[in-house]
Amino acid sequence: MKTLTYAEENYLKAIYHISEAGKKGVSTNDIAAAMQTKPASVSDMLRKLSNKKVIEYRKYYGVHITEEGKKYALQTIRKHRLWEVFLVEKLHFTWDEVHEVADELEHIKSAILIQRLDEYLGYPKFDPHGDPIPDEYGDVKARPRLPLSEIEINGTGQIVAVKDSSAAFLRYLDKVGAYIGARIKVLDKVEFDGSVEILVDNKKKIFMSREVAGNVLVMV
């Protein structure tokens, strides 16, 4: 059991998330953008992470996360998402308020704490943004889901997650009345701009731009 620093945990989490999105090697620039830091700093860190065997690093060709690295990343993600559930369910934070605080809480080092927290929360399977919570071994139950923008007219489904979980986007969804768990039906799609009209819970008609609909994930 290696001990990673806060910075190392953050980099590893970012590398994991980027490599989940696209399948190939993760580039220095992409990591720098995700971490809001400079490519030169990333190069420094990649050498460190490589020495700790949590990534495979070939200079100039981007990095791959190792199996061991993936375990550490998923552990951090597990903590992040469990804390998010805690903040929303127990402390009544809104889903747009939790991310920053969870980014700090995810680094608290105590196996028993996370075990107890999980138990206390009733072993939740998804966080407030619909993202799956890895179990203590790092196993994630992926749910098949696709962007709302890709549902056909008259197609139905349930909102299960968001792709963008920025505060601005989440507050916008609150405003229009979209939320996780909502049952939806696509009433109309505008060919011209890709915007959609949907019916929420068989009650409320709402409009979404293609941009917005692309960031709302649905299970059919």
Partner DNA sequence: AGATAAGTTTAGGTATAACTAAATATTAAT
Partner DNA sequence: ATTAATATTTAGTTATACCTAAACTTATCT
Q: Which does 127 bind (CB under 5 to 8 A by kind): Mn ion, DNA, a second copy, none?
A: Mn ion
Tell me if 78 contacts Mn ion by CB under 5 A: no
| CB neighbourhood size of 146 (10 A) | 12
Contacted by 126, from a second copy, DNA, Mn ion, none: CB < 5 to 8 Å by type: none
Asked if residue 31 lies in contact with residue 89, where contact means CB atoms within 8 angstroms, the answer is: no
- Give yes or no for a contact between 196 and 148, defined as CB atoms under 8 angstroms apart: yes
What's the min distance (Å) between Cβ of 98 and DNA? 22
- By the rule CB under 5 A, 127 interacts with Mn ion: yes
The span from the CA of 177 to the CA of 172, in Å, is 9
Verify binding: residue 46, DNA, rule CB under 7 A. yes
Written as six digits, the tokens of 157 are 């489904």
State the nearest-atom distance from the C-beta of 113 to a second copy, in Å. 6
| Residue range at the interface with DNA (CB under 7 A); choices 24-32, 95-103, 145-153, 187-195 | 24-32
Taking a C-beta distance cutoff of 8 angstroms, is the pair 141, 74 a contact? no
Report the partner that residue 117 touches, choosing among a second copy, DNA, Mn ion, none (CB closer than 5 to 8 A by kind): a second copy
Is there binding between residue 145 and Mn ion (CB under 5 A)? no
Give the residues lining the site for a second copy (CB under 8 A).
Answer: 87, 90-93, 97, 100-101, 104-105, 108-110, 112-113, 116-117, 120
Name which of a second copy, Mn ion, DNA, none residue 104 binds, using a CB cut-off of 5 to 8 Å depending on partner kind.
Answer: a second copy
* Residue 109 binds which of DNA, a second copy, Mn ion, none (CB < 5-8 A, kind-dependent): a second copy
Helix, strand or coil, per DSSP, at residue 147: strand
Residue 37: helix, strand or coil by DSSP?
A: coil
**DSSP H or E run through 122:** none
Q: β-strands 204-208, 216-219: how paired?
A: unpaired
